[in-house]
Amino acid sequence: MNEAPDYPKEVAEVYRGRRDALVDGLARIGWQIPKPEGTMFVWAPIPEAYAEMKSLEFAKLLVREAQVAVSPGVGFGPGGEGFVRFALVENEQRIHQAIRGIRRALTKLA
């Protein structure tokens, strides 16, 4: 840490950019998600049109139809049902690609 005192700020900025790319991109396709503060995860309520689906079922749908992997909220306990969790581990280009896949999948299934 003495060698790179700005490194934590740089990493935080990378994750902030990824978070904004994901949350803002999903908002543009109609999936409103609150922006988290200080985490590398985004908890997303299942979109209203799919609210009757359990989180595991919706997560499988995203993998199958959009080629996007998320964690089903129920995997984190009963309070997670109705949510999926995105991990901000991919770069912004891949996040934009994921959003395009989600848009195509949700439009196709609507």
Q: For residue 81, give Cα distances in angstroms to 16, 55, 63, 66, 105.
A: 26, 6, 18, 21, 21
Mean of the pLDDT values across residues 82-107?
97
Residue 66 has a pLDDT of: 97
Residue 45 has a pLDDT of: 98
Report pLDDT digits (tens) over 52-83: 999 999 999 999 999 999 999 999 999 999 99
Q: Is 85 exposed, middle or buried (0-12, 13-18, 19+ CB in 10 A)?
A: middle
Report pLDDT digits (tens) over 11-42: 999 999 999 999 999 999 999 999 999 899 99
Enclosing H/E stretch for 82: none
Going from the N-terminus, what domains does the chain have, and what CATH number goes with each? 7-109 (3.90.1150.10)
